[in-house]
Every structure is written in structure tokens, then in C-alpha cells.
Amino acid sequence: MNAAELDALLRQFLVDHKLNPHEKKVLVDWVDRNVTSEHYRGLARNRLFESVRDAATDSKTIMLLKFIEDVLKVLMPMASNIAGTPQPDGVYFSPGDACLNQILARFNGARSRADVCVFTITDDRITRAILKAQQRGVQLRIITDNDKSEDLGSDAQQLRNAGVPLRMDRTEYHMHHKFAIFDGLRLLNGSYNWTRGAAEQNEENITDTSSPEMIASFQKEFDTLWDRFA
């Protein structure tokens, strides 16, 4: 994480005590490039408080900042247990909502792009999250299995009708992957099919990682399949 760059930006933004649209865009770009885990998010938050404390000119403001910082240290760990809030690198299992919540959280938090490569999508909760991401301007690409796209309850055609770029294999075999890459920074991968059965009945798993090496390998595989299924 480039802390020095963040410090310089914060000093610049603090001059007029406001965050204008251009500055917000610059900050979002810094976050996309630097905040790859919850640990780094916490470090960035700490740099913010340090910068504001350095700029404060009276003791009352400094005391209020310390109060806010202490309260956030209590509240933020609680937020990680709320459904739909992304967790740091880890492994999640079903039956239950852990895998589903992690998928939803990654779509809710996606900023620029998401590449999805899954055997089947029938869980409407995930489909709604995908479509909401599209409405926010997230660039989507989806690869799925042609046979499963014809199953009752498949959301493949709904996604395609909504304008989501979607490609399928055209062989007698299956495109059996289940992984997704978010903003080039997060990878979800595991046995978990994007179905209600996987959430409610099956013994499944998802690994969520920010490993650059793993993300690069899966991105290469996605791009290869995307071109092959054109």
C-alpha cells in the first residue's frame, strides 16, 4: 500500500476542508490500486485520522477526532458480521449463507469490472446483485455452460436480455468452473454453484483471496475461454 501517496493526497484535499467530485474520483482510484484487503483498509483509515489530527488547530477538535476513531474501532469489527458485508481472505462453506453472502458482498462492492465463470446461475439473489452492479456501471462478462443454461430456473437468458455480455461453451462436455474476479483484486473460487440448492442443501465451499498470483492465473484462464467461446 502506497501510504506516502495517500498522505500527500489527504494533505492536498484538506486545504479547503472539502472533498470535491474530482478529488473523490482521485481517491477512489487510489483505493482501487492500493486497498486489496481489510487490513489495508484499516491502515488507510488510520492515515486519514492522523492527517486530520495534524491539520487540527484546537484541542476540542482533536478530542472529537479521537472519540470518533475509538468508536469506529468498536463498530467496524461488528460490521464484518453483517450479511452482505465482504470478509477478508478466507474460506466459506455451505449449507448456510456464508458463501452466498460473500458472493453478494463482492458484487455490491465491485467498482469497475467483474468477470464471472460459473457452471450455472439459478439463484435470483445473485442475479439481482449482478444486475445492480451493471446498473452502477460495473463492466461485466459472464461465461457459463450451454447445457445448464437451458435448465428450468436458469438466469442465463435473463442476464443476456438485460445486456450483460454472456458466452457459453458449445461442446458435449461441460464448462464446469465456478470462479469470479472482481476489479482484478479479488478472486472467488470453489465448488459452490450459484444456486439455492448449493446454499441450502449441498456441502460446498468458496475461497476468497487477494493473491495476485492466483488472480493472474484465473484471469488468464477466463480470457482464454472468453476468446474461445466468441
Residue 92's pLDDT band (cuts 50, 70, 90):
very high
- Identify whether 97 is a catalytic site residue: no
**Of 70, 176, 220, 223, which residue is the catalytic one?**
176
Q: Stretch 65-77: mean pLDDT, rounded?
A: 68
- Identify whether 70 is a catalytic site residue: no
Percent of the chain topping pLDDT 90? 52
Residue 49 pLDDT more than 60?
yes
Q: Stretch 28-38: mean pLDDT, rounded?
A: 76
Residue 193 pLDDT more than 90?
yes
pTM confidence score: 0.64
**Which contacts qualify for 6-13: CB closer than 8 Å, 24 or more apart?**
6/30, 6/34, 6/44, 6/47, 7/47, 7/51, 10/47, 10/48, 10/51, 10/52, 11/51, 11/55
Residue 95 pLDDT more than 60?
yes
**Of 183, 208, 220, 227, which residue is the catalytic one?**
183
- Identify whether 7 is a catalytic site residue: no
Q: Among 70-74, 175-179, 206-210, which stretch is predicted with the lowest mean pLDDT?
A: 70-74
